[in-house]
Structure 1
Amino acid sequence: MKKVKVFFNVLFDILLCTILVIVGIRFGPNLYYRLFGSGNTLWISERFSEELMEKNELVVFETTLSGRETTSQSAWLLGKVQEVVIPYSYTISFTVDLSKSRVTVEGNTIMVRLPPPRASFSKLTVDESNMKKRDWLYPLTPERYASIKTEIEQKLFHETSEKTEYLDAAWATAVKNMESLFKSVAEESEQGVTCDIQVLMEQPSPIPSDAETTSSTGLESPAPSFVPNTL
């Protein structure tokens, strides 16, 4: 009877040791990392990533410009038959697409990689109460008026969307927003702010050109076909 009891005690000890070894192998490294290593940094990075996933496009910079545009049309022999002076305000917003962000941990630093800011929204507002026009010979039609507004908006977007001053201001705001979000997340942890953050701009991968695609596949592009002009 005593031998049976000893046998079961030994068996129990073996099973207990086996379970402890399995648990240690499965959860030990992660538990050790969280308790004694960079566990707080990992926790902050995970929470930070979750916060970014909840957002989509972040508006980081917005500016409004005011001005006036003068357009005219002339007719043969008659000269200028229409002149329109359009006062306007133009607002453009720059955003960062957070869905394309990447968060990694390097040592005790959280690395946040964001795509560059881009112009996403624009709005042209015309002050029609102060609009001036001379069109007694060639009345301004709704179609012509809509076309003029489209031309103004396209011109302003082209001038402002790639302006270095605006892009730099947008990126600086994006970095400040990431640092502020990092601080608020880190303060939620039990150990507080125990790591640093570094925000980097990650340029999008270039789209391969047709020539590169042809070279990589070894296929030649078909010769262009000639369609005679029958008009």
Structure 2
Amino acid sequence: MDKLLAMKMFVATVDAQGFSAAARRLGLATSSVTRLVDALETAVGASLLNRSTRQVSLTEAGARYYERARSIFEALDEADASVADRGEEPVGVLRLCLPVEFGRRVIAPHLGPFLARHPALELDIDLSDRLDDLLDGRYDLSIRLGDPSPNDELVCRQLGRFERWLVASPAYLAGRDPLHHPRQLLEHACLRFRYGQKARPWRLARGQDSLELNVTGP
């Protein structure tokens, strides 16, 4: 038995002064409402309603139970209302996790105006390139560069696109054979950026062609 649902049927029956009237309000069969209220009485070990052919009335135990049950549902309504988005001014702490350079270059310049518009909001920003578990970190929002990892518990949205450029200094290239194909990068001293604990391969693309290179270097 779903006790919360049974309590709802009980309160509805009292408010409507009958099983049939409660069932009509709830859009249920009268037998379903009656069955749940009977099960609730069995669970609590007390008779909650006096039944007659025309209406129901509360027993002494039922009156006490009804008041407590009503207070529970009112508290649930208040809990729902406390977190509902009603277009009011945001308050509290907003926890963000951002890549280091992205946060510094793209987000940081907007923090002053943003907080000026929302003075009741406090920002807790973690600048990190680690691919930490967003759920364990308890972040409200995370921005990551690259393809999002599939996770049914997270909502992912693409915010934009970016490109990485491969560059080399003239001094490094001097005296080395010219590059004619990306595979030649495997013979060069490449600087790899480590995301978290794992250095990632370089993925290159041109049109429909793509290439993944596990480059090395000091």
TM over 0.5: no
TM-score when scaled to structure 1? 0.24
Q: RCO higher in 1 or 2 (8 Å CA, sep ≥ 6)?
A: 1
1 or 2, which has the higher strand percentage?
1
- What TM-score do you get using the length of structure 2 for normalisation? 0.25
